[in-house]
Homo-oligomer: A and B are copies of this chain.
Amino acid sequence: MEITRSSLRLMVLILCGLLLIFTLVQYPYAPSDKAELLDCSTNSPWCTFKNRFQLSTSKILKNPAQHQTRNHATDVPRHPLDPLTVTELNQVRNIILSHPFFTTASSYSLHSVVLEEPSKPLVLRWTQNEPVLPRKASVVAIVDGKSHVFTVDLSINQVTRHQIGSQTGYPMMTVEDMTSATWAPLMDTTFNRTIIERGVDLKDLACLPISLGWYGKREENRRLINVQCYTMKDTVNFYMRPIEGLTVLVDMETKRVVEISDKGRNIPIPNAANTDYRFSKFNSRQQLNLLNPISIEQPNGPSFTVEDGHLVKWANWEFHLKPDPRAGVIVSRARVRDPDTGRMRSVMYKGMTSELFVPYMDPTEAWYFKTYMDAGEYGFGLQAMPLDPLNDCPRNAYYMDGVFAAADGRPYVQSNMVCIFERYAGDIGWRHSESPITGMPIREVRPKVTLVARMAASVANYDYIVDWEFQTDGLIRIKVGLSGILMVKGTPYENVNQISNEEDLYGTLLSENVIGIIHDHYITFYLDMDIDDSDNSFVKVHLEKHETAPGESPRMTYLKATKHVAKTEKDAQIKLKLYDPYEFHVVNPTKKTRVGNPVGYKVVSSGTAASLLDLDDPPQKRGAFTNNQIWVTPYNESEVWAGGLFVYQSRGDDTLQVWSDRDRSIEKKDIVLWYTLGFHHIPCQEDFPIMPTVSSSFDLKPVNFFERNPILRVPPNVENDLPVCKAAASN
């Protein structure tokens, strides 16, 4: 009976496969339309989910009242850094697809269509009332299997530049690449038989596209992906139900299975029990209501404005903010008002997540290659899903949409991708009470209120929450939160007492048959600091133990600060050391405070982790941008992606390490600061079936930038300013 049903399904799937091949030939590289043509989609909820993709990104799942649905059809760029509009994306598509190179091609896909930002001097000279600067697009495409980069000039309707891409890496995957990779195994009868033999109904199958890095010949000269699968039976949290040891190597161009590795037949699929995390699935007895309602309220509305869709003005700050398919969000031209002169002063020309590196620590066949680069491989912005109002961001948040291009160049809207809100967390901006020692009747306290720009990228299982937080005292905090779901491994073990050597698990037994594998997360930020002007220097302020001379002092030792200006890039390859502390300043050496200190900002580390892999281990070569926590490079338009522009299957020949090793001069230059935030993650049972957020951050902090405390003259809270609130919105 069971066999018969399986055979039937097999036949349907073979038919499916044939249909798919037909479709692929007839409708090359327009996968967003393709799913509807697949008969299998009517059988598999997994396929059906895919069809819902357009829906889920353009429509809203709940709390509809909260969402500002915007029509982007008539958007017009107002600022030279504004992202391409729907109209412009359509124009780029028309220009590029009518270019002879494309009209003669047998296949193509567009992997990135974004604004080519005008040159820095032009942007710096531009003022808000001027017409926007000439608009150009940068297009990364794969045409007949080869990577290309085009510049499209929208003012003259022409492709003005065309470069052949690198041989050693590929562009960021398109969403269509990822989704189609997950269907590809279904065309393979061996695969289907394996799935059925594992006791998984094909309709319950859920597969993930897993970038495979680069380890040698096999990963060269063709665009490949590994696909691994799970069962969705009895849970939406299929991540907890791996079909362990089964890895399908798929050619992303042909969509064909290249190789199947099937080593986990003896490993049971973990149970679905206790894996679902949706609130709607718990009955009222199971629900855990711990708290009364609590909310950040601003009865007179927020204090920020977003002009022309992207220019954020709040308190003493002004910056340009835009969604980006690869970086997630880009903060540009961050400027702060000097309380003494009233003038806006430049702090950072551009800041963004440049790359991520997430190596898993299991060298076995189905795991060794898991060393994700979530920005350059998957698109950190492409994966940034609509935020959930009242939960992802508080009331009064402003939501910004992303307007991106699909693989066929057609624009689509990633709605509510970024939120901006003011945060009051009960914290203190500054304070002083006089103590009982003096007994003076003084108590001056100022509450701390900040502005947060947030996105949350769901790169398959994991959720990354990225906050850019601006403080009125001039500090910028960049915070990364990790939540979502672990990537777990199936195992025959049900209890630690069955395991002779726990180390060999490569992780922690989280539940019966489930191991959470040890892994690291590195998030590398590009920070083009422009302290009052572009030409800056990087100064290492060394705190060193100094010994007093005999008879000089009853003290034997004290710490002394010495300043070292980094001359070249190698002077600025920094590994942090608790017992050899430094401050790291970016200063404008030509601009001094009244008493003669160079104006500057410092980068302040908080909790972080360092990569310990061998420098010549292939993943670490590709992730070489994590070899140091801090780097400084001279500004170079082409050096923005720390793992290289073409990071997919790259060999590490275009990383920050390679650029920095040129050892160029960085003194009194337009310089870019790079900071890597790291996490080691040894999973624990609390991470099952979904992880409480873990976060860390680093700060960019003014250091002798202002003449004095810039928030000296802000008022305290008084009762009369605060709102009067009634119990509930429903009343």
Contact = CB atoms under 8 A, between A and B. Distances in A.
Nearest to A179: B437
Contacts of A595: 494-496, 509-512, 685
Contacts of A274: 708
A316 interface: yes
Interface stretch (A74-82, A144-152, A282-290): A282-290
Contact of A382 (B436, B616, B618): B436
Contact of A609 (B520, B578, B680): B578
A437 B579 contact: no
Contacts of A315: 290-291
Contacts of A158: none
A299 B293 contact: yes
Interface in A555-612: 555-563, 575-579, 581, 583, 592-593, 595-597, 604-610, 612
A596 B502 CA distance: 11
A127 interface: no
A715 interface: yes
A606 B49 CA distance: 40
Given A425-B425, A436-B57, A444 B688 contact: no
Nearest to A731: B724
B696 A606 contact: yes
Nearest to A218: B554
A511 B593 CA distance: 10
A691 B431 CA distance: 8
A613 B557 contact: yes
A213 B481 CA distance: 43
B558 A388 contact: no
A726 B299 contact: yes
Nearest to A707: B685
Interface stretch (A90-98, A103-111, A540-548): A540-548
A385 interface: yes
Contacts of A442: 236, 278
Nearest to A359: B558
A705 interface: yes
A517 B532 CA distance: 27
A390 B431 contact: no
Which among A386, A428, A617 has the highest number of chain B CB atoms within 10 Å?
A: A428
A515 B423 CA distance: 34
A295 interface: yes
Interface in A409-444: 421-444
A579 B430 contact: no
A193 B459 CA distance: 73
A433 to B, nearest CB: 4
A118 B532 CA distance: 61
A693 B448 contact: yes
A395 B430 CA distance: 18
A456 B433 contact: yes
Interface in A277-309: 277-279, 282, 286-303
A550 interface: no
A463 B442 CA distance: 13
A447 interface: yes
Interface string A697-731: 00000111111111111111111111111111111
A302 to B, nearest CB: 7
A100 interface: no
B725 A724 contact: yes
A293 B723 contact: yes
Interface stretch (A1-9, A59-67, A164-172, A632-640): A59-67
Nearest to A216: B554
Given A363-B555, A484-B431, A728-B723, A290 B277 contact: no
A26 interface: no
Given A208-B437, A290-B472, A431-B463, A717 B316 contact: no
B496 A597 contact: yes
A623 B444 CA distance: 31
A241 to B, nearest CB: 14
A617 B546 CA distance: 12
A432 B429 CA distance: 32
Contacts of A56: 434, 439-441
Contact of A428 (B179, B391, B494): B391
Interface string A361-382: 1111100110000000010001
Contacts of A61: 441, 443
Contacts of A729: 719-724
A559 B690 contact: no
A708 B723 contact: no
Nearest to A541: B682
Q: Closest 8 A-B residue pairs measured CB to CB?
A: A496-B596, A53-B439, A425-B425, A720-B730, A363-B553, A391-B445, A215-B554, A290-B315
11 contacts: A56-B434, A56-B441, A292-B300, A294-B297, A294-B449, A386-B433, A430-B483, A503-B560, A557-B614, A577-B578, A685-B704
Given A49-B441, A296-B426, A473-B692, 10 more contacts: A52-B439, A62-B443, A288-B711, A293-B721, A295-B424, A296-B425, A388-B431, A392-B445, A430-B692, A494-B595
